[in-house]
C-alpha cells in the first residue's frame, strides 16, 4: 500500500436543507481514504472510542483500506455536529466532542513506516511533527490544517510547513495563515515557508494549485444535486494524493491531473450524506467523471478575433 493518512475517524451529525443524519461515519481520514482507495491502497492511523460501530469501517476494508493503525480506546468517539445554510455555502459547527481524540498520540505501526506517500490530516501540528519523526524517507508528504491550529499553534505549524512538500487548505485557512486576503499572494507566501506546492480548495468554486512561477485552476464539477458538502475537502485530498501515489508522477503535469482526480472525488462526496456518495463509484465511473472535466474546460483559441 502506497499511501498513509493520519487524521480523524468520526461520528458526524449533519443537517442540510435536504435532510439530517446522526452519528454517521465521518472524519477527515475516513473521507480521505474512501476517496483515495479508488486509486491506491490506503493505510489509516487514528483513534476511535469503544462506542464506535467498527463494522462500518470493516465494510470498507475490501476497497483497499487498512484500518489496522486505528486504535480503539476506552471512552467516547470523536463526534462533530454541523448545520449548513440553505445554499450550502456556509456551515456552522454546532458541537465538537473530542472524546478519545483529545488524547490521540499517533503511533505509526512499524509496517506502515515506509509508506511512500503521506497525508497529515488536520491534527495538532505537534502531532503532525511526531508523525514525520516516525516515517522513513517518504517520496512526498502533504498536510492539511484548520483555523483553530492557525490561531493557537502557528509557530508549530510553521515548523510543519518546513518539513512538508505540499499544503492543502481552503481559502479561508490560507488567508488566516498568511495574513493576506489575496489568495495568490498568500500562496506565494506559503511557498516561501517550505512547501514546493500549495493547493487552495474553494468549494463550489474549484481549486487552485500554485508552485513557483506557475499556477493551475480546476473548477468544481457542476452538480445539480448537492446533498451534503461535508468531507468534500478531505475527499479532494484523497483523490489528489491517491492519484499521485498510484502514478508516482511528481511532474507539474502529473499534479495538474491530480487536481482533476481530487475535484472528481469532491463531486462524488457531496452527492450524498456521509460516504454514501462513493457507493457504486468504480474506476470506470471515476474516469468518466475525470474526462468530463476535460470537456468542461477545453476550448480552442481562434487564430484572430473575428
Ligand atoms: P470537510 O468538510 O472536508 O472540512 O471535513 C469535515 C470532516 O472533518 C467531518 O467528517 C468531521 O468529522 C471532521 N472534523 C471536523 N472538525 C474536526 C477537528 N477539529 N479535527 C479533526 N477532524 C474534524
Task: Choose the residue to mutate in 6, 7, 10, 207 for probing ligand 1, maximizing ligand atoms within 8 Å of C-beta.
Answer: 10
Closest CA to 190 of 144, 231, 232, 239: 144
The domain total for the chain is: 1
C-alpha 189/C-alpha 181 separation (Å) is 12
Give me ligand 1 centre to Cα 129, in Å. 20
Residue nearest atom 6 in ligand 1 by C-alpha distance: 231
83 in any annotated domain: yes
Q: Where are the beta strands (DSSP E) in the chain?
A: 3-6, 10-16, 19-26, 42-48, 65-72, 79-84, 91-97, 117-120, 140-143, 166-170, 197-201, 207-211, 214-218
Task: Choose the residue to mutate in 5, 7, 8, 263 for probing ligand 1, maximizing ligand atoms within 8 Å of C-beta.
Answer: 8
240 in any annotated domain: yes
What are the pLDDT tens digits along the chain (306 aa)?
999 999 999 999 999 999 999 999 999 999 999 999 999 999 999 999 999 999 999 999 999 999 999 999 999 999 999 999 988 888 999 999 999 999 999 999 999 999 999 999 999 999 999 999 999 999 999 999 999 999 999 999 999 999 999 999 999 999 999 999 999 999 999 999 999 999 999 999 999 999 999 999 999 999 998 999 999 999 999 999 999 999 999 999 999 999 999 999 999 999 999 999 999 999 999 999 999 999 999 999 999 987
Pocket of ligand 1 (CB under 6 A): 8, 10, 12, 26-28, 80, 96, 122, 230-234
303 in any annotated domain: no
197 in any annotated domain: yes
- 125-131 long-range contacts, CB within 8 A, separation 24+: 125/149, 125/153, 125/156, 125/157, 125/159, 125/160, 126/153, 126/156, 127/6, 128/6, 128/160, 129/156, 129/159, 129/160, 129/163, 130/105, 130/106, 131/6, 131/45, 131/106
CATH number, position 207: 3.40.1190.20
195 in any annotated domain: yes
Give me ligand 1 centre to Cα 139, in Å. 26
pLDDT value for 306: 76
305 in any annotated domain: no
Give me ligand 1 centre to Cα 10, in Å. 8
Domain with 254 in it: 3-297
Q: Which atom of ligand 1 is nearest to the CA of 232?
A: 3
212 in any annotated domain: yes
pLDDT value for 273: 94
pLDDT value for 171: 95
63 in any annotated domain: yes
pLDDT value for 268: 97
Interior angle at CA 36, CA 198 and CA 278, nearest 5:
120
C-alpha 306/C-alpha 303 separation (Å) is 9
Burial classification of residue 305, based on how many CB atoms lie within 10 Å of its CB (0-12 exposed, 13-18 middle, 19 or more buried): exposed
CA distances 24 to 11, 53, 154, Å, are 5, 10, 32
Unique residue bearing C-alpha cell 478575433: 305
pLDDT value for 105: 96
Amino acid at each position: 500500500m502506497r499511501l498513509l493518512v493520519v487524521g480523524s475517524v468520526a461520528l458526524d451529525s449533519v443537517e442540510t436543507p435536504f435532510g439530517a443524519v446522526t452519528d454517521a461515519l465521518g472524519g477527515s481520514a475516513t473521507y480521505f481514504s474512501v476517496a483515495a482507495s479508488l486509486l491506491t491502497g490506503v493505510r489509516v492511523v487514528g483513534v476511535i472510542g469503544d462506542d464506535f460501530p467498527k463494522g462500518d469501517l470493516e465494510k470498507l476494508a475490501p476497497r483497499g483500506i487498512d484500518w489496522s493503525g486505528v486504535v480503539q480506546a476506552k471512552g467516547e468517539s470523536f463526534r462533530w455536529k454541523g448545520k449548513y445554510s440553505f445554499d450550502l455555502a456556509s456551515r456552522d459547527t454546532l458541537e465538537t466532542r473530542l472524546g478519545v481524540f483529545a488524547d490521540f498520540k499517533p503511533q505509526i505501526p512499524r509496517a506502515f513506516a515506509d509508506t511512500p506517500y503521506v497525508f497529515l490530516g488536520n491534527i495538532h501540528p505537534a502531532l503532525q511533527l511526531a508523525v514525520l519523526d516516525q516515517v522513513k524517507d517518504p517520496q512526498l508528504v502533504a498536510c492539511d490544517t484548520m483555523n483553530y491550529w492557525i490561531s493557537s499553534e502557528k509557530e508549530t505549524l510553521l515548523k510543519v510547513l518546513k518539513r512538508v512538500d505540499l499544503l492543502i487548505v481552503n481559502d479561508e485557512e490560507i488567508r488566516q495563515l498568511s495574513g493576506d486576503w489575496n489568495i495568490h499572494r498568500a500562496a506565494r507566501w506559503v511557498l516561501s515557508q517550505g512547501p514546493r506546492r500549495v493547493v487552495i480548495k474553494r468549494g463550489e468554486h474549484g481549486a487552485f494549485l500554485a508552485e513557483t512561477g506557475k499556477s493551475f485552476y480546476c473548477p468544481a464539477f457542476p452538480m445539480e444535486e448537492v446533498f451534503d458538502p461535508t468531507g468534500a475537502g478531505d475527499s479532494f485530498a484523497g483523490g489528489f494524493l491517491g492519484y499521485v501515489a498510484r502514478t508516482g508522477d511528481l511532474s507539474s503535469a502529473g499534479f495538474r491531473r491530480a487536481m482533476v482526480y481530487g475535484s472528481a472525488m469532491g463531486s462524488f462526496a457531496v452527492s450524498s450524506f456521509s460516504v454514501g456518495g462513493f457507493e457504486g463509484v468504480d474506476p470506470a465511473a471515476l474516469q468518466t467523471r475525470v474526462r468530463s472535466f476535460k470537456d468542461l474546460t477545453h476550448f480552442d483559441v481562434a487564430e484572430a478575433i473575428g
